[in-house]
């Protein structure tokens, strides 16, 4: 486990955009489209006899073959995964979160995040009871020997660094089935959630995934329709200060889109690019003078428990009107393990931006920071 600062930063600095697109236009036997609507980083093609070809986050193609079925001759050159998978290793907490609506958390036999950092009860309890093993050190190396011993049906990993690619290469060398879930690279908030369809293919649960995803989309659209009638859009400051650097979402990032969809006016929406970007403290302060809402992209369990604690990071923040008005929110500890609840996150943001329109909403994934620690 790296330091908490690095941990936060790596959560914030997940960058990039995959180029791989839809693998097929042909609908499945169940009538589901194989082309993602919002996601850009995976593909899914349906073949005869229940087989599928998935394209993962590194543009690798895998052949999914139902157990007991023959491998199609024309696809023998592809790595084969027999489905449904029953025993998986999960290297990302977000992958686990997307297995939750599929009701497949019980398939997890190993993870790389230690027990105290899990907010998904099924995984945390599994680690406590020994049903789930720790086979790595978060963003550090995998324990390949332990993974081999477990003999999983599949390892879900993510990539974003040269070290991650080395893990992928090593797993391939060891002939351990592996698939890359790069939902974190999507630049649309619903695109990140749509990776549930990618995971569902390995369990033969595309219908469940489609129903769940459609519900998230509909709930999100209900929020965007509600805020469309608002008479104003509050100016939103969003960022993280760490060791003198300020990290903010870029203008084409999924966060910037979330702010706009929830009825906010993001103060750095003109900042080009995806993922996150650094700006000077002076620029952050200058634009922050206009803010009506401040979302500090931090977690209380990492020390930001009050506005006073936040101001300790940079004294000049105390002069911002939004700080003096106490209109500051941060993430709940489980925020990054709630990707499957994007519709609730939208509802949170809309309620923060437009409290008059959402009087009944109780925040689930954000919390308002108190002035001081009690």
pLDDT for the residue numbered 34: 63
Sole residue written with tokens 């103060």: 267
Q: Which long-range contacts (CB under 8 A, 24 or more apart) does 350-357 make?
A: 350/223, 350/226, 350/227, 350/262, 350/263, 352/293, 352/295, 353/227, 353/233, 353/234, 353/236, 353/262, 353/263, 353/264, 353/293, 354/226, 354/227, 354/230, 354/234, 354/263, 357/226, 357/227, 357/229, 357/230
pTM across the whole model: 0.89
pLDDT for the residue numbered 308: 95
Instruction: Measure the CA–CA gap between 274 and 272, rounded to whole angstroms.
Output: 7
Give the bridge partners for 88, in sequence order. 108, 154
Name residues whose C-beta falls within 8 Å of residue 120's C-beta, 6 or more positions apart in sequence.
93, 96, 97, 100, 105, 334, 337
pLDDT for the residue numbered 350: 97
Which two tokens mark 328? Answer: 């500051």
Query: Which of the residues in the chain have pLDDT under 70?
Result: 1-34
The secondary element (H helix, E strand) that includes residue 356 is none
| Number of residues written out for the chain | 374
Neighbours of 49 (CB within 10 A): 10
SS3 276: strand
Instruction: Measure the CA–CA gap between 331 and 239, rounded to whole angstroms.
Output: 12
The angle formed by the CA atoms of residues 134, 136 and 137, to the nearest 5 degrees, is: 110
Sole residue written with tokens 């998935």: 54
SS3 240: strand
Which two tokens mark 352? Answer: 């923060």
E strands, 219-350, are 235-242, 245-249, 265-266, 276-279, 293-296, 328-331
Residue 319's nearest CA partner among 349, 353, 294, 355 is 294
Neighbours of 371 (CB within 10 A): 12
Helix axes of 189-203 and 342-353: crossing angle, nearest 10 degrees: 160
SS3 301: helix
Instruction: Measure the CA–CA gap between 123 and 96, rounded to whole angstroms.
Output: 8
Give the CB-side neighbour count of residue 51, counting CA atoms within 13 A: 21
pLDDT for the residue numbered 17: 32
Instruction: Measure the CA–CA gap between 180 and 42, rounded to whole angstroms.
Output: 9
pLDDT for the residue numbered 62: 98
Q: Which long-range contacts (CB under 8 A, 24 or more apart) does 145-151 make?
A: 146/110, 147/89, 147/110, 147/171, 147/174, 147/176, 148/174, 148/176, 150/87, 150/89, 150/109, 150/110, 151/87
């Amino acid at each position: 486990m790296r330091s908490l600062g690095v941990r936060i930063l790596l959560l914030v600095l997940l960058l990039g955009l995959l180029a791989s697109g839809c693998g097929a236009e042909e609908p499945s036997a169940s009538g589901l489209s194989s082309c993602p609507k919002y996601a850009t980083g995976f593909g899914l093609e349906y073949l005869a006899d229940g087989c599928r070809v998935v394209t993962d986050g590194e543009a690798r193609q895998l052949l999914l073959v139902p157990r007991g079925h023959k491998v199609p001759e024309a696809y023998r050159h592809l790595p084969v995964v027999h489905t449904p998978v029953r025993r998986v290793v999960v290297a990302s907490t977000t992958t686990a979160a997307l297995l939750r609506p599929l009701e497949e958390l019980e398939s997890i036999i190993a993870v790389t995040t230690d027990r105290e950092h899990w907010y998904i009860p099924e995984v945390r309890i599994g680690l406590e009871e020994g049903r789930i093993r720790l086979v790595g050190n978060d963003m550090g190396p995998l324990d390949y020997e332990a993974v081999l011993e477990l003999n999983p049906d599949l390892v879900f990993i993510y990539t974003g660094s040269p070290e991650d690619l080395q893990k992928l290469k090593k797993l391939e060398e060891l002939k351990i089935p592996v698939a890359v879930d790069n939902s974190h690279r999507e630049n649309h908030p619903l695109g990140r959630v749509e990776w549930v369809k990618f995971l569902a293919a390995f369990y033969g649960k595309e219908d469940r995934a489609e129903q769940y995803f459609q519900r998230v989309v509909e709930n999100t659209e209900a929020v965007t329709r509600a805020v469309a009638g608002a008479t104003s859009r509050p100016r939103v400051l969003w960022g993280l200060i760490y060791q003198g650097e300020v990290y903010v979402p870029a203008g084409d990032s999924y966060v910037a889109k979330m702010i706009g969809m929830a009825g906010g006016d993001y103060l750095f929406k003109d900042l080009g690019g995806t993922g996150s970007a650094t700006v000077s403290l002076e620029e952050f302060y200058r634009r922050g003078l206009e803010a009506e809402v401040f979302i500090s992209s931090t977690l209380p369990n990492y020390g930001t428990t009050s506005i006073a604690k936040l101001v300790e990071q940079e004294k000049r923040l105390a002069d911002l009107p939004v700080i003096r008005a106490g209109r500051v929110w941060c993430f709940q500890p489980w925020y990054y393990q709630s990707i499957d609840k994007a519709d609730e996150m939208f509802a949170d943001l809309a309620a923060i931006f437009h409290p008059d329109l959402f009087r009944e909403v109780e925040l689930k994934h954000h919390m308002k920071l108190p002035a001081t620690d009690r």
